Amino acid sequence: MRRTAVRYIVLLVALATLAAPGHAPGHEAKGAQHLSRIGPAAPFTLTTQDDARLSLRDLRGKVVAVTFIYASCVDTCPLLTTKLAGVQTRLGSDFGARVFFLSVTVDPERDTPTVLKGYARAHGTNPAGWAFLTGTPTEIRDVARRYGVYVRKSPGGDVDHTFLTSLIDRDGVLRVQYLGVRFDPDELLADVRSLLMEASGR
């Protein structure tokens, strides 16, 4: 029986950025041995918490999880970051060497590299395998759109946005997305390990 948390493939992403002959949206069938291949993950280059430019392509050869947060969020973003930090710990020596996390801010006007560095440190994240990314408002809007993330800033400064965590294989192919912050971290960990085994040819 499948776990309660369901893996979602977002139709908007598939249609807007990943559509290609032979690629169809959907998640893998029950009992499938491998995660479906949705299509090439949308490329991007943003600025890390260390004020360095980092491209998704720079991480080719690693399994990458991409999510969207903002530092002044007081509820769901910290919950998501804490959940991923738990997965980070459970990955052990694979984290950084074979697996990398990217957290993209949806509030670039306030989330400077310095702010994101403080946020990363406060949540116990390992910079060897986890980058917190910002950029110009145009860059951030483009990345959010390409990954199917809705973003709207309220007059009071809060940011309403979709919570999607995207898992990308070592060849830069988007394999699955998790909707919301209440997905099962055991499922994410199992999927990461499945992609690592796939990469090893086992």
Q: Which residue has the higher pLDDT, 4 or 139?
A: 139
Q: Each residue of 14-30: pLDDT tens digit?
A: 433 343 322 323 333 33
Q: Other CB atoms closer than 10 Å to residue 46's CB: what's the count?
A: 21
Domains of the chain: 7-200 (3.40.30.10)
Q: Each residue of 108-145: pLDDT tens digit?
A: 999 999 999 999 999 999 999 999 999 999 999 999 99
- Residue 31 binned pLDDT confidence (cut-offs 50, 70, 90): very low
Q: Each residue of 63-100: pLDDT tens digit?
A: 999 999 999 998 899 999 999 999 999 999 999 999 99
> Which helix (H) or strand (E) segment is 157 a member of?
none
**Residue 101, SS3?**
strand
Q: How far apart are alpha carbons 201 and 74 in whole angstroms? A: 42
Closest C-alpha among 145, 101, 163, 146 to residue 126? 101
Q: Each residue of 134-187: pLDDT tens digit?
A: 999 999 999 999 999 999 888 877 888 888 999 999 999 999 999 887 788 999
Would you state the pLDDT for residue 192? 96
